[in-house]
Structure 1
């Protein structure tokens, strides 16, 4: 005699779901028929509160420690270290080289080491690196510190996305990723305030303002590593904070949602290389690169652009905050909306288009107030796309190996955007920065083309499955069917 889970509805409702034609619906629909919505919501909220706030806090610190050099620049950084010409741009750029190289290896290690151990180690490593950057005496010392910050930060973002993606169904994912990535906006909103506040003791005890920024922000990050060590949850199959029946329910719905059973497969080099041959994984890299060229330009160079309006360093730091607040609010709202309607493409294309309009306003207009309005549009549009493209591409693949490879590869490609933004905004292009902003617009056009390709292909493939033109795959051996992943006839791509 079996005991029914408190998360299941009565068997009479379950019998209805058994009569449905699963070849014309997503595999998750059957699970939705079985769920008690009140109990399901309770368990999901339990997961949300354990996972999302802590990762948001850690990623906020990640982003602050990455872009604080933009605020430090306004507090005598270049003067104290004797930096001239492209030295600042090189310091910004060099961070991204180790960041790109260590993305995929870090996600491979994450599946073999408990997330709390690995992410706590990374957090402590980059916190110490930021702190020691404050002791730099020349250009070479700051350059070395930035390299180590890149090494340790490399695993945090893709690892967090991988962990979040392991806990939720495909159409629950974007709203959670949007909340997680609103950390970008939190960091962007307070970085100016922190730059103004932490740098204001400039000269106190003979220490320049930029050193105070690095010392204090780095020290806070080191302390935050203890939170990751004690409170970060593992992957679902290893969780202990859920009741046994809750854990069973979570694992069962995740398997049903992706039409496969290989959830516990660990990443390895061979699997990662095989996944990189999938065009959907490659498209994820293109889409995220198109996002990050503009995102990093806004994060690192926005205070500098604002200063060309004739504003002081303090005012430029402070007024870099409101556009990020607006973009964070809109990003979360769009994420919730997209999850509810189970659509991605239309929001993705719209986000790129809005950002293009904003960038053109900043580049072509002369009036400071109108250019400032353009920064709002540029920020809102691009931060709609940032969580969206990761969630959308993750929706199109099945299995831990491919999902982990996709998140790491996409984020690696995104960091190329950081390198590009670092070299296309030299001071000589002030105040309009035509080459830099034109580069952002060009990449966003590429993003629109890649998104339209994904959107139309997903629609075509779903139509083929609805017409039964992929049903011949059901005749494969059982073990082969289990390996089909997103090629399974029951699987539906997200439009």
Structure 2
């Protein structure tokens, strides 16, 4: 339902007539609410499914190394000791370094051209990885996958954050991030199916995984080039009337909307990085990603340590991700409905910690497998919430672009950590790796409490009128205040 601000901006003239009676006003409001839902659906269908597809393939191509590992990868490329861990780790180095620069590019180039180019680049890199003859060849392919994938996730988050009001954002983020779970399901199924082609035409199962999944991404890149929309101010798929109304609607939620059209630059990024909320976003997403990447990349390997076959281990990763995807979307819808974030984040962390303790402390395969369910849906509840919550707390293209890119960059450090704390000699309990995941989730809990406490305190200051002196500034200066404006309220 559109709120009163939505309705007032949609047809100001009708509401402002003094001779209109209450029944007529109610009729106008009802029609406007229907129109708001219609335009939102139009935006949702144009934006979210395509981004969901692209990020599904992004995540699939990133973690398929875990499925490949159980189909003769080590033997064919003569990987020993930490070689596999290094192959997993090297992806994250260019990924971390290039995320903020990539968001500066997407702010200047049509998103469809930039994201389409990135998708084509990493799709080809994955495909060529299937031809690797030694560790050096696979390392090179993984570096290029990291270079091209670096801009995809923060760019998509940046685009989504620009299209929706704050109370509509988390559910859209969850639908987008359910890509992780879709990819997790597909990864297990495709890993089992494509890996079973082992030996066909002289290629091992791991090569077929890379060939087919990389080719799928190249095809999706064409869809991005053709259909991905731009930012709201530059969109063409809405009618002029719909576009004008929608920009007014966003303006009601974001007093800084006009200055948002300024392009990101290094000075703006550096100023944004001084904001404690931006820095907290990095801590929160890092705390999520250590566990998320550990589960995605090493779950098939851990399952084989139960004595299960490669085929069974790949297949049994699928239902875990399916359940976590469904739960994460339902919780996100609930969070948007009640406009609360912190309590859901804390619940997700605690559930995930409980699941990890099951995996680490129990010895029976069935109980440990049950632990993977709790660990997965707990952490995937948190993933869209923490990134969306941090976007909720800032205004302006520059700061939003910095938040998404910085948070995701920090998250990839979690990928590096996960790559080195699960060596094969820790099998079957993997105590150091799982303990590391639990420790970082504890850090995430502290960051959630910190964000909730200080934002709640600041909201109370504004409600008490202690920031009203900022209203004496000129209109231009007030517009530059962003989330410091006394009318702005932080999400809790």
Tell me, yes or no, whether TM beats 0.5: yes
Tell me the equivalent position of 2:4.
none
Per the alignment, do residues 225 and 390 of structure 1 end up closer, same or farther by CA in structure 2, a change over 3 Å counting?
A: same
Tell me the equivalent position of 2:299.
302
Tell me the equivalent position of 1:140.
136
* 2:186 is the counterpart of 1:190: yes
Tell me the equivalent position of 2:464.
467
Paired with 1:166 and 1:15, the residues of 2 have a C-alpha distance of: 33
Contact 2:8 2:15 in 1 (8 A): no
Larger mean CA deviation between 472-481 and 96-105 belongs to 472-481
Tell me the equivalent position of 1:453.
450
Alignment partner of 1:36: what SS? helix
Tell me the equivalent position of 2:10.
8
After superposition, give the CA deviation of every residue in 1:286-312 in whole Å (9 maximum; x if it has no partner): 000000000000000000111111110
Paired with 1:330 and 1:480, the residues of 2 have a C-alpha distance of: 43
User: How far did residue 433 of structure 1 move?
Assistant: 0.3
Contact 1:8 1:34 in 2 (8 A): no
Tell me the equivalent position of 1:19.
none
Tell me the equivalent position of 2:161.
165
Tell me the equivalent position of 1:358.
355
User: How far did residue 367 of structure 1 move?
Assistant: 1.3
User: How far did residue 211 of structure 1 move?
Assistant: 0.6
User: How far did residue 9 of structure 1 move?
Assistant: 4.8
Paired with 1:224 and 1:369, the residues of 2 have a C-alpha distance of: 38
RMSD over equivalenced CA pairs, Å: 1.6
* 2:351 is the counterpart of 1:345: no
* 2:201 is the counterpart of 1:199: no
User: How far did residue 251 of structure 1 move?
Assistant: 1.1
Paired with 1:293 and 1:359, the residues of 2 have a C-alpha distance of: 12
* 2:266 is the counterpart of 1:269: yes
Paired with 1:325 and 1:414, the residues of 2 have a C-alpha distance of: 22
Matches for 1:114-129 after TM superposition, within 5 Å: 114-129=110-125
Alignment partner of 1:76: what SS? helix
Tell me the equivalent position of 2:282.
285
Contact 1:89 1:422 in 2 (8 A): yes
**After the TM superposition, which parts of structure 1 deviate over 4 Å for at least 4 consecutive aligned residues?**
9-16, 32-35
Tell me the equivalent position of 2:47.
51
* 2:256 is the counterpart of 1:254: no
Contact 1:281 1:393 in 2 (8 A): yes
User: How far did residue 263 of structure 1 move?
Assistant: 2.3
Per the alignment, do residues 151 and 10 of structure 1 end up closer, same or farther by CA in structure 2, a change over 3 Å counting?
A: closer
User: How far did residue 477 of structure 1 move?
Assistant: 2.2
User: Which residue among 205, 209, 222 is the counterpart of 1:209?
Assistant: 205
User: Which residue among 322, 328, 332 is the counterpart of 1:335?
Assistant: 332
User: Which residue among 61, 67, 71 is the counterpart of 2:67?
Assistant: 71
Per the alignment, do residues 359 and 149 of structure 1 end up closer, same or farther by CA in structure 2, a change over 3 Å counting?
A: same
Tell me the equivalent position of 2:21.
none
* 2:83 is the counterpart of 1:87: yes
Per the alignment, do residues 184 and 15 of structure 1 end up closer, same or farther by CA in structure 2, a change over 3 Å counting?
A: farther
Paired with 1:145 and 1:438, the residues of 2 have a C-alpha distance of: 31
After superposition, give the CA deviation of every residue in 1:146-190 in whole Å (9 maximum; x if it has no partner): 000000000000000000000000010000000000000000011
Per the alignment, do residues 355 and 33 of structure 1 end up closer, same or farther by CA in structure 2, a change over 3 Å counting?
A: farther
Alignment partner of 1:240: what SS? coil
Per the alignment, do residues 451 and 205 of structure 1 end up closer, same or farther by CA in structure 2, a change over 3 Å counting?
A: same
Contact 1:9 1:35 in 2 (8 A): no
* 2:430 is the counterpart of 1:433: yes
Alignment partner of 2:394: what SS? coil
Tell me the equivalent position of 2:100.
104
Contact 1:7 1:40 in 2 (8 A): no
Larger mean CA deviation between 408-417 and 7-16 belongs to 7-16
TM-score, length-normalised on structure 2?
A: 0.95
After superposition, give the CA deviation of every residue in 1:87-115 in whole Å (9 maximum; x if it has no partner): 00000000000000000000000011100
- State the number of aligned residues: 476
After superposition, give the CA deviation of every residue in 1:68-101 in whole Å (9 maximum; x if it has no partner): 0100011100100111110000000000000000
Tell me the equivalent position of 1:409.
406
Paired with 1:195 and 1:319, the residues of 2 have a C-alpha distance of: 11
Per the alignment, do residues 282 and 6 of structure 1 end up closer, same or farther by CA in structure 2, a change over 3 Å counting?
A: closer
Contact 1:285 1:414 in 2 (8 A): yes
Larger mean CA deviation between 256-265 and 457-466 belongs to 256-265
User: How far did residue 458 of structure 1 move?
Assistant: 1.1
Paired with 1:440 and 1:415, the residues of 2 have a C-alpha distance of: 14
Tell me the equivalent position of 1:315.
312
Contact 1:7 1:36 in 2 (8 A): no
User: How far did residue 493 of structure 1 move?
Assistant: 0.3
Paired with 1:421 and 1:84, the residues of 2 have a C-alpha distance of: 18
